[in-house]
Amino acid sequence: MKEFPPPPGHDAQTAFLLTQVGSQFAGSFAGLVSELGLNPPHAGLLRAIAFGPGRSQQEISAQLGLLPSRLVALVDDLEGKGLVKRTRNPTDRRLHALTITPAGAEMMHDIGRIASANGAEMLKPLSRPERRVLHDLLTRLADHHGLASGVHPGYRSMGREDSTVGRPGTVSAAD
Amino acid sequence: MKEFPPPPGHDAQTAFLLTQVGSQFAGSFAGLVSELGLNPPHAGLLRAIAFGPGRSQQEISAQLGLLPSRLVALVDDLEGKGLVKRTRNPTDRRLHALTITPAGAEMMHDIGRIASANGAEMLKPLSRPERRVLHDLLTRLADHHGLASGVHPGYRSMGREDSTVGRPGTVSAAD
DNA sequence: TATTGTTATACTCTATAACTATA
DNA sequence: TATAGTTATAGAGTATAACAATA
């Protein structure tokens, strides 16, 4: 079998497909978690707290790469729903340790079911071996680009100060 | 070789990886086009006009699935940069035919170069055969989910009226 | 004085609705 | 009256900066 080189722009098309399908998957997941009264940032934060309980808001916001002021609103939401709890650290009363409640653990379970169902539905057109191949390829891409496991890059802070151009750099729809 | 079934949640992890990597790619592309003074919606609109010139704003907004009022602002931006032109239809003076200017065609070329360079950079960890496999898998996923070729789902209108729940359904970071 | 968390504020993006002109 | 485009307005989402409590 002869190897034909890819046509010019092939990589661009592949990359575009990746953002297109990725956005579709994300939108589908967002629609499902919204039925639980949450949005994707909520789900990601809840997950971060569940997997590393007892940490301060500062630590969590640093891990997820979001602003402390934004974290406050998200934690407020989750606490208002009784899914997480703030506990002041007695030795340093400035720190608020974040933990999930039993209701939060249940919610995590529901989110997991939703995520599995969503993944199965979205990947339905691929056979199981093909899904494994896709998983392998995506894992290598994620590793190469330094994407922290379980942390969605949508959390990353945007707007660089160091850029020579210094354009607003809006991301909008393509995120 | 024995076939092992994937562990539970494997599909969910694959789907998450897809959104994660897709968001990374989209952000990288957004950063590059911002150096041209555009954002991804600008680029997508310019592309739509270039590939189907002479159509009305109504037609374009329907194709891309965005609101007419939003299209006005985007067209204003592109027209202000001299990349597209509005021409009133003499037979029905309500219609504005959209066409790209020579500068717009040049910009399309620049965007194409950027997209190719970005794609090549993002896919660098994969061999050419692997990129072809990835392209094939993604194409089948896109086809199955009815994603129009070249139209990013970020354009789709959000907020459904028909839903039984009727939640805001914010997409935010995960898009 | 420095740091954690919070609140206040502004800015961008997007969506809804009112408006103008053409038909 | 209906439609294409536009403008005005309001609503989220997000970022910056000021603030109070604690160290």
Cα gap A11→B123, rounded to integer Å: 7
Cα gap B24→A22, rounded to integer Å: 10
Q: Which of B5, B119, B124 sits opposite A14 (nearest CB)?
A: B119
pLDDT band at A165 (very low <50, low <70, confident <90, very high): very low
Write down the pLDDT at residue A94.
Answer: 96
Nearest nucleotide by C1' from A73 CA? C6
Let me know: does B7 contact A152? Beta carbons within 8 Å: no
**Do residue B13 and residue A135 have CB atoms under 8 angstroms apart?**
yes
Does residue A39 reach within 7 angstroms of strand D, measured from its CB? yes
Count of residues making up chain B? 175
For residue A7, pLDDT over 90 is answered with no
pLDDT band at A6 (very low <50, low <70, confident <90, very high): low
Gap from B41 CA to chain A (nearest CA, Å): 7
Helices assigned H by DSSP within chain B: 10-34, 40-51, 57-64, 68-80, 102-122, 128-144
**Do residue A9 and residue B112 have CB atoms under 8 angstroms apart?**
yes
Write down the pLDDT at residue B9.
Answer: 85
Please name which of B14, B31, B30, B32 lies closest in space to residue B134, comparing C-alpha atoms.
Answer: B14
For residue A74, pLDDT over 90 is answered with yes
Q: What is the mean pLDDT of residues A104-125?
A: 96
Write down the pLDDT at residue B7.
Answer: 73
Cα gap B98→B55, rounded to integer Å: 6
DSSP B35: T
DSSP B7: P
DSSP B155: G
Q: Name the residue with tokens 């949005």.
A: A39
For residue B160, pLDDT over 50 is answered with no
For residue A153, pLDDT over 80 is answered with no
For residue B45, pLDDT over 50 is answered with yes
Q: Which of B13, B24, B119 sits opposite A153 (nearest CB)?
A: B24
Instruction: Give the other-Cβ count within 10 Å of B38's Cβ.
Output: 26
- 3-state DSSP of chain A: CCCCCCCCCHHHHHHHHHHHHHHHHHHHHHHHHHCCCCCHHHHHHHHHHHHCCCECHHHHHHHHCCCHHHHHHHHHHHHHCCCEEEEECCCCCCCEEEEECHHHHHHHHHHHHHHHHHHHHHCCCCCHHHHHHHHHHHHHHHHHCCCCCCCCHHHCCCCCCCCCCCCCCCCHHHC
Write down the pLDDT at residue B155.
Answer: 66
Nearest nucleotide by C1' from B56 CA? D4
Instruction: Give the other-Cβ count within 10 Å of B175's Cβ.
Output: 26
Beta bridge partners of B170: none
More confident residue, A149 or B91: B91
* Residue B167, φ and ψ in degrees, nearest 5: -75, 155
Strands (E), chain B: 84-88, 96-100
Give, in Å, how far the C1' of C2 lies from the CA of A151.
Answer: 30
Crossing angle of the two packed helices A40-51 and A10-34, in degrees rounded to 10: 80
Q: Which two tokens stand for residue A94?
A: 């400035």
The chain-wide mean pLDDT, for chain B, equals 85
Closest-CA residue of B relative to A30 is: B171
Q: How many CA atoms lie within 13 A of A50 on its CB side?
A: 20
More confident residue, A168 or B117: B117
Which nucleotides of strand C lie within 7 A of protein CB?
3-8, 12-18, 21-23
From chain B, the residues in CB contact with A10 under 8 A are 119, 131, 135
Let me know: does A107 contact A46? Beta carbons within 8 Å: yes
Write down the pLDDT at residue A4.
Answer: 63
| Least reliable range by pLDDT among A33-37, A168-172, B37-41 | A168-172
From chain A, the residues in CB contact with B122 under 8 A are 11, 15, 141, 145
- Reported as a single tens digit per residue, the pLDDT across A8-38 is 789 999 999 999 999 999 999 999 999 999 9
**Do residue A40 and residue B174 have CB atoms under 8 angstroms apart?**
yes
For residue A155, pLDDT over 50 is answered with yes
Q: Which two tokens stand for residue B166?
A: 């009727």
- Reported as a single tens digit per residue, the pLDDT across B4-18 is 666 778 999 999 999
User: What is the four-CA torsion angle of A123, A124, A126, A128, rounded to 10 degrees?
Assistant: 90
- Amino acid found at A22: G
Nearest nucleotide by C1' from B155 CA? C14
